[in-house]
């Protein structure tokens, strides 16, 4: 499914002619990048076309496709909206929006979009199958069956459709018809592993152990790469007392899907039953690492801890269970057993007594629980998280178009900006402050405008040893460069002996001091430069940046010292003194940024840096205001969208946060697509 969306749209859509050849060329390059899975780069090309000709629908449509591949379904929906608004007669835009909405769980809207696209292309397999999937998720199985039968009339020689028919029949609880459909599939195509797997599931549900085992074995022999087939055959092997084969099946399931908690859980149960307790414990640990809410695994691990004489760990696990289920008697008995083994007779007696009290009052407790459930039920709203058990149940329900969301395939590209970048885990860390430097790492993807007339005009005067750059991605100096900058500092110092009122020389030396990490000397020179020239905006900006670096450095080192002191003596007064000092320093820094914006109201980087400081002080609403100001000054400020998005997420305004992250991704911060995947669920 990696390219299916693109290929489908490309096959039935031809570009209209453009007035300017260069726009057509940019769009073509963008489509090439999209086809070859360079999604982040393709977005940048579509951005260019949109900037030149914002009235065109096509670049929005293609950008939506790229965002879908990156997992930014909400951003894709918004782009598809833009495309449809500009041209409501493009069926592909409805298809793309429906595709995004289906993944967002907006199944009714998705079905409506697929219906609209079908008006233009009524015989489209992709549209029918996607609408059928949306209708099934809406539990409109009759409607889904009508779509399937419509397609089967046109494509009667496609045996795979009998699988889809069987799935719908299962949903309609017509197991006999479903088995007939799966049999017909296998009659027409006995090499279809999916058919054997589907019939195996059906037979497994009917308690036909040998028939289900034979079907799953056949599916696996046909090179099925679905991990659920191995899990199910493993379960069947346990029931057939073939424990070695069951272990092998669970191992293979984990090889295919390393995050399958059910595979680890089943393997853990089997290992424990076979006396392989240490490995069983490792598997239970993995289950709880994947799903911290899995109480079944927690209970099994607690019992295993007692078996392994790890009594304190057992007590900790049982207490977690009691915290969630205060009337679960086996947990109290488990703690009593552990406390007895530890020699804590009084504690053991207490927990036995608690278990006895619960047993004695179980009628009252059950009545109370029913009342609580009734109250909770009245407060429940749609969209609550599914339980671990419901997720397990769904694991084997292989619905129609099961591979349509296959965004977890490994890309053949090693460049971290290519392929499905949303699958690469990134840390949730704010983009750093922007600085003035001679050296900066460049990012060809990121679209933030790092040009500002104030900096450019100053560079044109050629007063420094090199041109200043605005960056938040500084390059560390080599030893040779450090020596060079020390020599420059000496030369400037000699000049200042004769030019002690030259603000530019003090600024020059301040930049050099900063490069060699001499922050105090840099601040002293900036103070002198500003005393001579009070409207020197670049000096205010540089001084704020250096002061922030110095404060950050001192804060980290004093924190380490405070930790040492606190081990010897608790000195709360010193800690408060340090905190007050940092607040004072932060206030001075922010005044410098304010002065920069007073002199240069459109200098977005000062607003951005101030917002970062406010965010670090937990003044999140004010931080959002200043990120917004930086965006007003520079509408394509990718880092500001990114940081504002994280801040919105932190205060619980997820919709705004995800929208900002989507915009940041659109502007080249590709790591947001991993965050969108994680926070958008």
What is the C-alpha to C-alpha distance for residues 677 and 681, in angstroms, rounded to an integer? 7
Contact between residue 199 and residue 182 where contact means Cβ atoms under 8 Å apart = yes
What is the C-alpha to C-alpha distance for residues 658 and 660, in angstroms, rounded to an integer? 5
What is the C-alpha to C-alpha distance for residues 378 and 246, in angstroms, rounded to an integer? 44
Structure token pair of residue 82: 């833009």
**pLDDT per residue as tens digits for the range 147-162:** 888 888 877 777 878 8
**pLDDT per residue as tens digits for the range 416-474:** 444 554 444 445 678 999 999 998 887 767 778 898 999 999 999 999 999 999 999 88
Section 127-145 average pLDDT? 89
Q: Which residues pair with 437 in a beta bridge?
A: 469
681 DSSP assignment: -
All residues at 6 or more sequence positions from 409 whose CB lies less than 8 Å from its CB, including other chains = 2, 420
CA distances from 659 to 58, 78, 395, 431 (A): 21, 10, 31, 17
Structure token pair of residue 83: 């495309």
Q: What is the pLDDT of residue 83?
A: 96
Nearest in space to 411 (alpha carbons), one of 21, 111, 37: 37
Domains of the chain with bracketed CATH: 477-595 (1.25.40.10)
Is residue 501 exposed (0-12), middle (13-18) or buried (19+ Cβ within 10 Å)? exposed
Share of the chain above pLDDT 70, in %: 83
**pLDDT per residue as tens digits for the range 507-533:** 999 999 888 878 888 999 999 999 999
What is the C-alpha to C-alpha distance for residues 629 and 611, in angstroms, rounded to an integer? 9
360-369, 464-473, 599-608, 620-629: least confidently modelled range: 360-369
436 DSSP assignment: E
C-alpha torsion 305→311→317→323, nearest 10: 150
Q: What is the pLDDT of residue 529?
A: 96
In degrees, to the nearest 5, what angle opens at C-alpha 78 toward C-alphas 59 and 429? 100
Average pLDDT over all residues of the chain: 83
Nearest in space to 558 (alpha carbons), one of 579, 573, 543, 572: 579
**pLDDT per residue as tens digits for the range 665-681:** 989 888 888 788 777 65
Q: Between the ranges 24-33, 166-175, 602-611, where is the mean pLDDT highest?
A: 602-611
15-24, 140-149, 220-229, 269-278: least confidently modelled range: 15-24
Judged against a pLDDT cut of 50, whether residue 14 lies above it is answered with no
pLDDT band for position 361 (cuts 50, 70, 90): confident
**pLDDT per residue as tens digits for the range 317-345:** 999 999 998 889 999 999 999 999 999 99
3-state helix, strand, coil in the chain (%, to 5): 70, 0, 30
């Amino acid at each position: 499914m990696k390219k299916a969306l693109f290929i489908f749209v490309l096959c039935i859509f031809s570009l209209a002619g453009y007035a300017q050849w260069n726009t057509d060329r940019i769009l073509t390059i963008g489509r090439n990048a999209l086809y070859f899975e360079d999604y982040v780069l393709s977005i940048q090309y579509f951005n260019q076309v949109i900037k030149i000709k914002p009235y065109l629908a096509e670049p929005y449509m293609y950008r939506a496709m790229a965002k879908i591949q990156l997992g930014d379904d909400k951003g894709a929906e918004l782009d598809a909206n833009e495309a449809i608004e500009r041209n409501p007669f493009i069926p592909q835009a409805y298809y793309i929006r429906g595709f995004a909405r289906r993944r967002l769980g907006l199944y009714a809207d998705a079905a409506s979009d697929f219906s609209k696209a079908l008006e233009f292309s009524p015989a489209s397999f992709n549209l029918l199958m996607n609408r059928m999937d949306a209708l099934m998720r809406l539990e409109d199985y009759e409607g889904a069956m009508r779509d399937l039968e419509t397609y089967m009339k046109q494509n009667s020689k496609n045996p795979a459709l009998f699988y889809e028919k069987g799935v719908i029949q299962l949903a309609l609880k017509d197991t006999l018809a479903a088995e007939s459909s799966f049999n017909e599939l296998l009659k027409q195509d006995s090499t279809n592993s999916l058919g054997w797997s589907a019939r195996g599931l059906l037979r497994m549900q009917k308690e036909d152990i040998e028939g289900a085992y034979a079907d799953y074995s056949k599916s696996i022999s046909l090179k099925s790469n679905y991990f659920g087939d191995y899990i199910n055959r493993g379960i069947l092997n346990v029931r057939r007392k073939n424990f070695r084969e069951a272990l092998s099946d669970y191992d293979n399931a984990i090889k295919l899907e390393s995050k399958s908690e059910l595979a680890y859980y089943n393997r853990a149960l089997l290992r424990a039953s076979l006396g392989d307790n240490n490995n069983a414990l490792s598997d239970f640990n993995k289950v709880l690492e994947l799903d911290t809410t899995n109480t079944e695994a927690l209970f099994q691990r607690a019992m295993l801890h007692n078996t392994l004489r790890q009594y304190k760990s057992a007590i900790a696990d049982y207490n977690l269970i009691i915290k969630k289920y205060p009337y679960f008697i086996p947990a109290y008995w488990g703690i009593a057993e552990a406390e007895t083994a530890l020699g804590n007779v009084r504690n053991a007696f207490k927990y036995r007594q608690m278990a006895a009290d619960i047993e004695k009052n179980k009628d009252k407790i059950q009545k109370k629980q029913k009342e609580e459930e009734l109250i909770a039920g009245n407060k429940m709203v749609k969209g609550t998280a599914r339980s671990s058990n419901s997720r397990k149940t769904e694991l084997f329900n292989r619905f129609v178009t099961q591979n349509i969301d296959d965004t977890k395939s490994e890309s053949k590209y090693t460049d971290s900006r290519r392929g499905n970048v949303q699958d690469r885990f990134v840390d949730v860390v704010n983009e750093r402050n922007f600085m003035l430097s001679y050296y900066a790492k460049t990012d060809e993807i990121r679209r933030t405008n790092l040009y500002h007339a104030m900096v450019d005009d100053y560079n044109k005067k050629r007063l420094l040893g090199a041109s200043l750059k605005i960056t938040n991605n500084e390059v560390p100096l080599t030893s040779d460069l450090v020596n060079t900058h020390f020599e420059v500092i000496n030369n400037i110092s000699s000049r200042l002996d004769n030019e002690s009122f030259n603000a530019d020389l003090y600024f020059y030396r301040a930049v050099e001091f900063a490069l060699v990490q001499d922050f105090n000397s840099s601040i002293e020179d900036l103070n002198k430069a500003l005393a001579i020239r009070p409207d020197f905006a670049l000096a205010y900006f540089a001084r704020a940046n250096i002061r922030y670096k110095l404060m950050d450095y001192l804060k980290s080192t004093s924190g380490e010292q405070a930790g040492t002191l606190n081990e010897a003596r608790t000195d709360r007064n010193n800690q408060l003194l340090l905190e007050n000092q940092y607040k004072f320093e932060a206030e001075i820094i922010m005044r410098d940024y304010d002065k920069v914006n007073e002199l240069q109201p459109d200098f977005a980087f000062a607003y951005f840096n101030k917002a970062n400081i406010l965010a670090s002080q937990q003044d999140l609403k004010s931080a959002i205001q200043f990120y917004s100001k930086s965006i007003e000054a520079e509408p394509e400020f990718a880092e500001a969208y990114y940081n504002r998005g994280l801040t919105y997420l932190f205060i619980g305004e997820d919709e705004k946060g995800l929208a900002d992250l989507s915009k940041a991704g659109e502007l080249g911060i590709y790591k947001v697509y991993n965050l969108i995947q994680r926070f958008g669920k």
